[in-house]
Amino acid sequence: MSEAGGGEAAGADSPGSTVVGFRARPATRDVTFDRRELFEILAVYGRMVAAGEWRDYAIDHLPDRAVFSVFRHARETARFRIEKDPKLAARQGAYRVVDQGGRIVKRGADLKRVLAVLETVPKLVDC
């Protein structure tokens, strides 16, 4: 069989060819939010959008955690990150809310209770 360059294709039985076997890596599945979790997160997000506090979001599914980031403006860094880390479920709770500075605002096993902290964020009032 001739290739575009005119040379012969090297097969497994060609002299000097070596077949190298690779071990299949175990399939790693990214951590994701399930439907119930997304419903709770998007309910809070919708209320905050209606209040004019948030305008954009991003969802990241990583090998070790899932992250829902909320933004005031798309060009800024995330105001808050809602993270799900299953490795921490038995110790501190799988869910946490992290502020813009990287500080954990609230963590726990119940997503609804963790999200409640976002709706009670004090606002600066200019008189």
Q: Is the pLDDT of residue 3 over 80?
A: no
pTM, rounded to two decimals: 0.72
Q: Is the pLDDT of residue 56 over 60?
A: yes
Nearest to 119 by CA among 29, 48, 42, 21: 48
Q: Where are the beta strands (DSSP E) in the chain?
A: 56-61, 66-71, 80-84, 95-99, 104-108
Q: Is the pLDDT of residue 125 over 50?
A: yes
**Residue 41 CB neighbours (<10 A):** 22
What local confidence, expressed as pLDDT, does residue 121 receive?
Answer: 58
Lookup: tokens for 24: 């299949």
What local confidence, expressed as pLDDT, does residue 2 receive?
Answer: 46
Span 74-96, mean pLDDT? 90
Span 96-121, mean pLDDT? 91
What is the C-alpha separation between 80 and 4, in angstroms, rounded? 54
Span 35-64, mean pLDDT? 94
Q: What is the pLDDT of residues 4-13, one digit of tens each?
A: 444 445 555 5
Q: Is the pLDDT of residue 19 over 80?
A: no
